[in-house]
Each structure stands twice: as structure tokens, then as C-alpha cells.
Structure 1
Amino acid sequence: MTEQKWVDALKVLTSIIARCERTLPKFVPGTSQHTLLKNRIQALKIGSVLLGGGDVAKDFDQTLTAALEPLASIIRKCEKARSKYEPGSGQYNRYGDTIRAIELSQELIKNELHRRSI
């Protein structure tokens, strides 16, 4: 993958994280919506650290594994939303960018888990 695609993916994740963090205070702590969003933010942050070339601390093996499901959930929701738009439209392309960025994050997390298991 080209360096520009990594930079673009990091920009997408950074934008998503910022929007999620602005939304988080709107939910009551302890509710399912709050917990879901908190887990998504954590998974997105792990992905962005790995995309940025950072190292996720060794203590986070369980967190890495747990991050895969929220990312998969975001991909499923984006694919469903994208299916409502015509290919080539702005909304369709925006969802495609999000899906690609999150798939890259998933791949990096899986690679990190594999690297640690060796």
C-alpha cells in the first residue's frame, strides 16, 4: 500500500475519532450507547496508532483482540449505509474511504496480534 493511502486512512480515522468524542458526552455513562461508542473510540485509536507507525503497549493484547469487533461493526454499518447510494456519489465515496481505513486498521491489528503470538 502506498504511503499516501496510509496518510489518507489516518486522516479518516482521526476525523471519525474526533466526531465520536464530541458525541460521547451526549450519552449517559453506563448505557449501551455510551459503552458501544467508548469501545469504538478505543478501537479506532488503536488503529490510528498502528497506522501512524506507533507501538501499542504489550499489555494491550486483550484490548487488541477486543478492538476487532467494534471495527467490524463499523464496517458492516458503513456497507449497509453505502448500499443506499449510487456508486460515484459523494456519500458512497465517503463510506468507501471509511471502510478502507477501518479495514486497514483491522489488518494492522491482526498483524500485531500475529507478531506477538510468535
Structure 2
Amino acid sequence: MDNYTYEELNKAHREVSSTISKCEKMQGKFTEGTAQYSLLRNRIKAMAISKRLIESELSPKEQMTDDLGQYTKKELSEALRPVASVISKCEKAQEKFAEGSSHCRRLENLIKAMEIAKALIEAQLALDETNGGL
């Protein structure tokens, strides 16, 4: 997918990496088996998939390995929900801040990263479909 610039992908990679780190820190505050713990576990998995897809876009095509096949169609499909959730929550949070504020810009960056992640997941699912599925 050549729809994104190197800079956009690089920013998205930083945002996704940061989100993974924050979620991992938060996960320790919840008891395993609780809804909050499960939500974070699912979000971390979705972000890890997103990060790998972004990394594959950043890599020169001749250096790419075929390890994107490590994710099943089900895992890719399940990753869409947490990514869409982050977008929705950020858009709602943006309403609370003045346009152009540092908080608003931070949320804009996260939304852009999640939109890229969502597009890459959807593209991988479409590619899997055209290649006969997983």
C-alpha cells in the first residue's frame, strides 16, 4: 500500500508503539479476567498487529519477509474493533479541547495513526481474500 508517505508511516509507528507501551503499563493495574484487563489485552494485540503491518510498509519490499502470514484472518478481523474503538474515543475526546491545542493535536496524531492501522489491516484482509484466504 503506497498511499502513505514514509513520514506518515513513521509517525504512525511511533504512536502505535507508544500506545502499546501505555496499555502494557495500565494492564498491570487490573486483575486478570476483568473486563478492563481483557480490553487492554485485545487492544495490545491489535496494536501489535498494526505495528507489524506499519513496519512492513516501512521496509523496502525486497527486504520484506513473508511473516505477515503469522496473523490469521480471524486475528486481523478482531484487530479492527479495538482500532476503531480508539478512533471513536479520540474523536469524542477531541470535542472537549480547543482546536489547535496540544491535547487536540495529540488526539489528531493518534487518530491518523489508527486510521492508517485500520486501512492496513483492511488491505491485508483483502489481500488474504484474493489469495484464497487463510
Same fold per TM (> 0.5)? Answer: yes
Choose which of 74, 90, 95 in structure 1 pairs with 2:107: 95
SS in 2 for 1:56: helix
- Give 5+ residue unaligned stretches, structure 2: 57-63
Match of 1:44 in 2: 47
Query: 93-102 vs 45-54, which deviates more?
Result: 45-54
TM-score by length of 2: 0.85
Residue 61 of structure 1: how far off its partner (Å): 1.1
Query: 45-54 vs 55-64, which deviates more?
Result: 55-64
**Radius of gyration: which is bigger?**
2
Identity of aligned residues (%): 36
Cα gap change, 1:88/1:63 in structure 2, threshold over 3 Å: closer, same or farther? same
SS in 2 for 1:86: coil
TM-score by length of 1: 0.96
Residue 59 of structure 1: how far off its partner (Å): 4.8
Residue 16 of structure 1: how far off its partner (Å): 0.7
Q: Report the RMSD for the aligned CA atoms in angstroms.
A: 1.1
Query: 91-100 vs 49-58, which deviates more?
Result: 49-58
Residue 77 of structure 1: how far off its partner (Å): 0.6
Choose which of 38, 46, 61 in structure 1 pairs with 2:73: 61
Partners in 2 of 1:59 and 1:71 — Cα distance?
16
- Give 5+ residue unaligned stretches, structure 1: none
Aligned pair count reads 118
Flag the structure with higher helix content: 1
Match of 1:106 in 2: 118
